[in-house]
Amino acid sequence: MLQVTADNLQAASAGDSSKLRVGEWVFAIGNPWGQRGVVTAGIVSGFGTARHNDDEEQPTHYIKSDVHLAPGNSGGPLLDAEGRVVGINAMIFGGDLAVAIPSNVVSSWLEAMPGRQVTLAIELQMVELPTGIHQREGLESGRTSGLLVVGLQATESGGLNGSQQPAAKGVFIGDVLLDAAGKPLSDAASLLDLIARRGPQDTIQLRVLRGGSLLTLDVAVETLEQK
């Protein structure tokens, strides 16, 4: 999401992406290869759904078209023949297949955004899991990576000597986070989203790989937030 310093800007009208039909004209506006304000046209060629990590609850819906996109178009609008925004251009497959996020998906995401903005009190880095771990711990056969804890924010402990202690109680540097609230963690953003949807006084269950052992921890949400 962007904040732009400008005056007298007219917002584009939002369209209903569910009413799009195959063969309908669509237009893309963007800055391909640095050329400002370029418009390209095409037709809707289909619709698709992709699932990540077998997640049945959060499939990714997208619009396929033959409108020409190039680097600099991503994030720009896909318009219908009436000039209404029906999608957000995302990427290109095979050189001639343009993929856009439907406007209805974007609207639903904005409506569901939590009011509390969260930043993590832990630093994470994606790592590959050793092959032997799957056999010893019985992890899912498809699990190949996790989030390594490489840093913890320190807070004042309130002691007489002014010592500091890690904010994320129960989590240690070297832990590899695998799941939060039963959801696989693919990146730090997925953990942020889960934390933001819970109250500061709640706890969240983490599945952690520590020293070759698989642990389940109930961690207070507030200790995972950066103050």
pLDDT tens readout for residues 4-24 = 888 888 888 999 999 999 999
pTM (two decimals): 0.52
Give the count of beta carbons closer than 10 Å to the beta carbon of residue 207: 20
Q: What is the mean pLDDT of residues 140-150?
A: 82
Tokens standing for 175? 């832990």
Q: What is the mean pLDDT of residues 194-204?
A: 84
**How many C-alpha atoms does 71 have within 13 Å on its Cβ side?**
2
The amino acid at 204: I
- Could you tell me the domains of the chain? 17-111 (2.40.10.10), 122-224 (2.30.42.10)
Q: Given a cut of 70, is residue 184 above it in pLDDT? A: yes
Least confident piece of the model among 2-16, 121-135, 171-185, 210-224: 121-135
Say which residues have a Cβ less than 8 Å from residue 97's Cβ, sequence separation at least 6: 45, 64, 65, 66
| pLDDT for 163 | 47
Whole-number percent of the chain with pLDDT over 90: 39
**In whole angstroms, what is the distance from residue 163 CA to residue 167 CA?**
13
